[in-house]
Chains A and B, each alone.
Chain A
Amino acid sequence: MRYLLRRIGFYLIALWASVTMNFIIPRLMPGDPAEAMIAKMQGQQTVTAYQLQALRVELGVNTTDPLPVQYWDYLNNLAHGNLGLSSVNFPHTVVSVIGEHLPWTIGLMAVAVTLSFIVGTLVGIVTAWRRGGVLDSTLPPVLTFISAIPYFWMALALVYTLGFLLNWFPISDGYDIYNTSPGFNLPFLLSVLRYGCLPVITIMLGSLAGWVLPMRNTMVTTLSEDYVLMAQAKGLSERRVMISYAARNAVLPSVTSFSMSLALIVGGSLLTETVFNYPGIGLTLFSAVEGHDYGLIQGCFLVIAVTVLVANFLSDLLYTALDPRVRQGRS
C-alpha cells in the first residue's frame, strides 16, 4: 500500500511537470506564438499593436500579466477543462477537436498493439523452440533491420507498393469519406476496417521485433530449466511442453511490457497517421504544428502525456499484483 501511495505521488509530480512544461516552453522561446502567427502571414495585411495584443489574449499568452498570475490562470483554466480555442479549426475549442480525433487513434493502436503482442509472442515461442533452426538464424537479424527502418518511411513504402502500385488498400483517410457517413451503420464500419488495414500492418511490422526478440530470449532461458526437461521426460506432447510448461512462465515479462506499451496507444502512431492521413491525434498534432496552432499542440501533448502516465500507473498496479517483492515495499 505504501508503495502504491508513493507511485501515485510520483505520477502526480510527473503530471505537474508535464503541465508546467506545457506552460513554460512557449514562454521560454524567443518571440511569442502571437508574433510567430503574424510572421507567418507577413505582407498580407498590416497588424496593429492592438490586434497583436488581442491575439495574445486569445492564445493565452497575455504578456502584460506577471508570470505567476499567468500560471495561476493557466492551471485554473486547465482544471475546468478549458484549453482555449484552436486557431486551425476556428471556432472549435481544443477540447472538442481532440475529443473528435482521440477515438480514431485509440481504436487503431489498440488493435495494432494487441495484434503485434500476440503474433510477436507466438513467433518468439516458436523461434526459441526450434533454436538454431532456419527461423532462429534468419528472423532476429531481419527483424533488427526492420525495426531500424523509420516507421513513417515504412508507411510510405507500403502506401507506394500495396496501395498505389497494387491497389490492394486505400491510400489515405480513416474511412470512405465520399460514399459513407460516420455513424453506427454497416458501410461506414466496413470502410473503417478496410482503411485501417494498412496503418495496422505498418505499426505491427515496426513493433514486431520488440516482442519476438525478448520473448525468444526468455524462452531460451526457460527451456533450460529442470521442469521443462522433466515434462519432456514424462513423455508429454511437444506442444504441451512448449505452451503450458515453457511459454507460460516465459511470457510474464512480455505481459508486463504489454501493459507498458499501452502508453503508446495515443502517442505511438503520430508519424504513421500523418502518412496515411488517418484522422487521429497524430494528424491533429501535425496540422497544429503546420498551422502554428499552439493551443492545439499543447492540448495534444497533454493528452499524450496523461495517457502515458495512466498506462504506467496501470502497469505498476499489475506489477504489484504479480510480484510479491514489490508489494513488500522493495521498489
Chain B
Amino acid sequence: MLIRLVQRPEPSAGMVYVSPVIAVVLTILTSMVMFALLGVDPVKAVVTFFIEPISSLDGVAELCVKATPLILIGVGLSLGFQANVWNIGAEGQLVIGALAGGGLGLAFFDQSSVFLVPAMLVCGVLGGMAWAAIPAWLKTRFNTNEILTSLMLTYVGLLVLSYLVHGPWKDPEGQNFPESRLFHDSALLPILIDETRLNVGFLLALLVVVAGWVLISRHIIGFQIKVIGMAPMAASFAGFKEKRLIWLTLLISGGCAGLAGVIELSGAIGQIVPTISPGYGFTAIIVAFLGRLHPVGVMFAGLLMALTYLGGDSAQITMNLPNAVTGVFQGMLLFYLLASDVLIKYRLRIGAPKIQREAAQ
C-alpha cells in the first residue's frame, strides 16, 4: 500500500481548523500510551491531567492566571511569525520586562500610589520592547539571524535576573534567600475574584487579543504583515518597508512578552524570584501555531496550554509523575499539529499514481 501526498488546487480552509483538533486528539491518545508505559492507569491520568485541575472555581481562576502570559505572548509572536520574523526569545523579553516593571515596584516598596501599577505595566512593556529591539536592530542593520540572537539574549536575560536576585535586589531582611522584598500592596494588580489569584492581567490579555485582531484583520499593517510573509517579492514591489515591519513585529512581540512578565510578577507572584516563568516564552510559540497565528485562536490555544501546566502539577501531586510530562506533552502536540497541517495543502491518496497512457494509444 502506498500513501501519497497530492497537492490540493487550493489550500483547504476547513483543514486549518480541523488540524488542531486532530493534533489534540492524537496527543491525548499518545500520552495515554505514555502513561501506560510509565505504569499509570491511562484513563485516570488523563482525568487527573485535564479534568481535575478545572473542576473547581479556584482551578478555573488558576487556568486563567496561567493562560494570561501565554495569550499575551502568543498574540505578539503570531504577528511576527506571519511576517516570517522568528522571535523565539520571548522568554528573555518576559524576564527583562518583569525586571523593568518589578524594579519600579521595588523602588517604591514602602509607598502607596494609585499610579504605581500602571507605571509598572508601562515599564514592563518598555523593558520587553528594549530587549526585542536588540535583535531587531541587529537584523535590520547587520542582517543577523533573529532566531539565534533573540535566543542568546534569553540566556543573557535569565542571567541578569539571577544576578539581581542574588545581588543588589536581594531582600535585605530575607535571611539571604535569593528573593526580593515583597511588593507594596499598591504595586499588586487588583484581584477579580476573592480567594483566587485571578487578576486584572487576564482582562488585559483579552484586550490584547482584541487589539491584535483589529491590527491583523482590519489594519493596513496587518495586511502588509501577511503579504510579506506569503509573498516577499510582491511586498517589495508594492513598496512595503520590510525593515519597518521587522522592527514593528519584534517590538510588539517584545512588548507583549514584557507585559506578560510584569503581570506575572505583580499579579501572581508579588516579589521578584529567581524563576519568574516556567518557560511561558517558549510554550507561547506552540500557542501561536496551535492558535493558527490568529489572535482569537491564540486565546483558546493559550487556555489549553495553560491546562497542561495545571495538569502537570496535579499529576505530580496526586500521581507522583514528574512534571516534565508537561514539556513532553507540549512538544508532542506541536509535532502532531505540524504533521496534521500537511492536510491543509495536500490530500492523502492511497495507491500508486495512475500512469499516463496517451503515449501507448
* Chain B binds chain A: no
Interface residues of B (CB under 8 A from A): none
Interface residues of A (CB under 8 A from B): none
